[in-house]
Structure 1
């Protein structure tokens, strides 16, 4: 795809960092973005997401990199099953241990069949990926207070380990959606297109001439 007409930018609240994405949302979503963060180690994460017209994810391609290491993971949905391919260079574990953190899991997932029935991806630290179930389930026009459980492929950044996770989204009305997992909950504020403008404790959107989506 050529030049993308819409852009979004978030400033991180939890750690020094930001996210910038260019996208087209006319017929599902196609997006290319970059996440920059200083924790748990300094890294850049570049991603590409494509959904079908119903906003179900069909492909996610991610690469994270820092001083002395780089990792990649690609998730592709084909015939109802996820195919996962990975790459790794250098030593992320050494960088994490030097920074006082635990070692990372391996990129990808050992058994891709654990992702059977997954229609959404969740890139940790990225407000963009919260939009996927919001749009796919049409939560902004759904009944207020009715919860929707979704199964996601949760991609941990910067390790790019992939985990199947269950999440709950509940429309609250007035462009607010409650997001919850087993150990966490936050009330997200979104715009009329379902993109997160405020994620308490994580990020807030900065409007810099978004363009048309």
Structure 2
């Protein structure tokens, strides 16, 4: 089975930074490594690696954040629906299929690809429990999110993302990657 290699760079608006992801798509699996730099709340660097099982279900996210004062790491794993953060079982994440790394547009890709939301017009809302990781703090929490296909676009689809009271109509390309996420990120490469 062949692997498609893609690279994307985004301007990330809330932290006045940039994020680049190098990814491989093999069948219904995704592997990626990425780097980001942000200026808010203080200058920081992020490096991560992400692996999925079949159907784009997260298997591992390893993240390192560096600031002037410290270096923090997180090893988040999902084995058969049982999540651990740095080796500690997290029952609050039971039922989650995906991770969502804060300020990282790449991690919106897995549920979109799994359900073909970038290709299927008129689909009902899809509800997900995510293992959400804050940046730069690397705190992990359970987060409920909704993705709803709104319309096909010239380059992919517009999908409404929702979490709590927050809503945003995000444009994805035909590969299932974010092109424009209002108030969060805009793709600089395609």
TM-score > 0.5, shorter chain as reference: yes
- Taking the TM superposition and a 5 Å limit, the aligned residue runs for 1:2-81 are 5-27=5-27, 28-81=29-82
In 1, the alpha carbon distance for the partners of 2:149 and 2:83 equals 29
Residue 141 (structure 1) aligned with residue 122 (structure 2): no
| Structure 1: gaps of 5 or more residues | 87-109
- What does residue range 185-196 of structure 1 map to in structure 2 within 5 Å? 185-196=167-178
Q: Are positions 1:184 and 2:166 aligned together?
A: yes
More strand by share: 2
1:142 Cα offset (Å): 3.2
Distance in 1 (CA, whole Å) between partners of 2:56 and 2:5 is 19
Separation in 1, partners of 2:94, 2:16: 35
SS in 2 for 1:131: helix
Residue 143 of structure 1 deviates from its aligned partner by 4.6
Q: Which residue is equivalent to 1:132?
A: 110
Question: Unaligned stretches of 5+ in structure 2?
Answer: none
Structure possessing the higher relative contact order (Cα contacts under 8 Å, 6 or more residues apart): 1
Quote the RMSD (CA, aligned, Å). Answer: 1.7
Which consecutive segments of 4 or more residues in structure 1 shift more than 6 A?
A: none
Q: Mean Cα displacement is larger for which, 20-29 or 75-84?
A: 75-84
Deviation string for 1:148-190 (max 9, x for gaps)? Answer: 1000000000110000010000001211100000021100001
Higher deviation after alignment, 140-149 or 49-58: 140-149
